Structure 1
Amino acid sequence: MKAIRAGLAAALCLLAAGRAIAEDAARINPTDPQPTCAMCPGTYIPSAELERYTQKAIAEKLIDQQVRDIDIGKARIGIGMVHRGKLDKPAADSVAEHDQISEVYHVISGAATLVLGPDIVGRQRRPSTMRTVREFNGPGNNGSDIKDGVAYEIKAGDVVVIPAGTGHWFTKIDDHIDYLMIRIDPDKVTPLKGEAQSTEYLSKPAVKGE
């Protein structure tokens, strides 16, 4: 009886070990799809931090600010906060286009008229020395108009997706518009920015000038 029990226990141990080996092999099998960001941590940004960016924008008359720039393996993701004040008519050459970075807006508050389209009139290369080019949205152009552009009345809760190369142009802002910006940077043209850099940025006045 003791021999039978010992044999049964040994068999169970071998079975468990076999299962563990099979599971390990399944996890590391090189023919399986592999994570595109191996062992990468997640990123959490509290709403209080985002709100501090909006407060800073209002206090210091800023528009676009980058909160994070995160490496996700095949691309980088930028998280920005944008505050725009009242606009009765568009400024000259205020159509924007980014060659390599796509953008997603999630409107938090306010309302505006936003015109979108790829056929940009009067393209002018944005200087590579601009901070927004170097740190936020990479190389691109400004323009004077968008041929056959589509106008959207955007408001709190709306989402806008702007592929790289598509012109975007605020032509009217009723009072203000605040939106969360998600930038998709597959070519990794913008620098990384973490929590420590964000804390330091918020601790002192922003450097003026672009």
Structure 2
Amino acid sequence: MKSVFRSFPTILCLTVGAPALAQTPARINPTDPQPTCTMCPGTYIPASELEGYARKALAEKLLDQQVRDIDIGKAQIGIGMVHRGRLDKPNPDSVAEHDQISEVYHVLSGAATLVLGPDIVNRQRRPATMRTVVEFNGPGNNGSKVRDGIAYEIKAGDVVVIPAGTGHWFTRIEDHIDYLMVRIDPDKVTPLKSEAQSQEYLSKPARRGE
């Protein structure tokens, strides 16, 4: 009996400590590179939600909307929906450039002329308080044109990769262009946006300036 009671504290300690040990993910092949986002969940965005953003853009005359902003460990990924209407000639100072966030466009519908290049003429700093700067694409600049830029005729199905620091400039849009935007944010300068926040945003009119 004495030996049984003496061993009980040891058994109790092992039992109490077990959940704490179970919470630490096991390192499989610890000499191999480990995941940069430990035990992170995946993210699913249904087409119906994206369509909700497309409808909202038309109904409320919105241009750029952020659907999600997701932490993936060493970086964040933003998912946006963009709608641009007909454009016969470029708007003044409409070249855009983002210092820290790279962008990938997947064109869903429409067609446009998009000029890309790093040499931006008449570079002007975007106000730090702008909503797009704070929530979508971080600090950057506008400009009047892209010197020696390359013009691309983009259409539905095309993909465009725009590194941080590269100017992008719509000079013509036939009728409209809609594209899904992937924003790569290695410095995590924009706030996270969850599914719940997305649904709340869709449920009521956007704030002025969105």
Q: TM-score, normalised by structure 1?
A: 0.87
1:53-110 deviation per Cα after TM superposition (whole angstroms, max 9, x unaligned): 0100000000000000000000000000000000001110000000000000000000
1:121-147 deviation per Cα after TM superposition (whole angstroms, max 9, x unaligned): 000000000000000000000000000
Tell me, which stretches of 5 or more residues in structure 1 are unaligned? Answer: 1-23
Identity of aligned residues (%): 83
Q: Which amino acid aligns with 1:170?
A: F
Q: Deviation of residue 25 (structure 1)? A: 8.2
1:180-206 deviation per Cα after TM superposition (whole angstroms, max 9, x unaligned): 000000000000001000000000000
Q: 1:173 to 1:74 in 2, by over 3 A?
A: same
What aligned pairs does 1:169-188 form with structure 2 within 5 A after superposition? 169-188=169-188
Distance 2:152 2:43 in 1: 32
Distance 1:90 1:126 in 2: 18
Distance 1:206 1:71 in 2: 24
Partner residue of 1:76? 76
Three-state SS of the structure 2 residue aligned to 1:209 is coil
Three-state SS of the structure 2 residue aligned to 1:205 is coil
What aligned pairs does 1:17-28 form with structure 2 within 5 A after superposition? 27=28
Partner residue of 2:189? 189
Q: Which amino acid aligns with 2:62?
A: L
Q: Deviation of residue 28 (structure 1)? A: 5.1
Distance 1:28 1:153 in 2: 48
Distance 1:58 1:78 in 2: 21
Q: Deviation of residue 209 (structure 1)? A: 1.9
Tell me, which stretches of 5 or more residues in structure 2 are unaligned? Answer: 1-24
* Correspondence 1:167 to 2:167: yes
Three-state SS of the structure 2 residue aligned to 1:105 is strand
What aligned pairs does 1:106-145 form with structure 2 within 5 A after superposition? 106-145=106-145
Distance 1:47 1:68 in 2: 13
Distance 2:188 2:142 in 1: 21
Q: Deviation of residue 32 (structure 1)? A: 1.7
What aligned pairs does 1:41-120 form with structure 2 within 5 A after superposition? 41-120=41-120
What aligned pairs does 1:30-49 form with structure 2 within 5 A after superposition? 31-49=31-49
Partner residue of 2:9? none
Root mean square deviation of aligned Cα: 1.3
Three-state SS of the structure 2 residue aligned to 1:201 is helix
Q: Deviation of residue 26 (structure 1)? A: 7.0
Partner residue of 2:152? 152
Question: What is the total number of aligned residue pairs between the two structures?
Answer: 186
Partner residue of 1:21? none
Distance 2:27 2:62 in 1: 51
Distance 2:102 2:79 in 1: 12
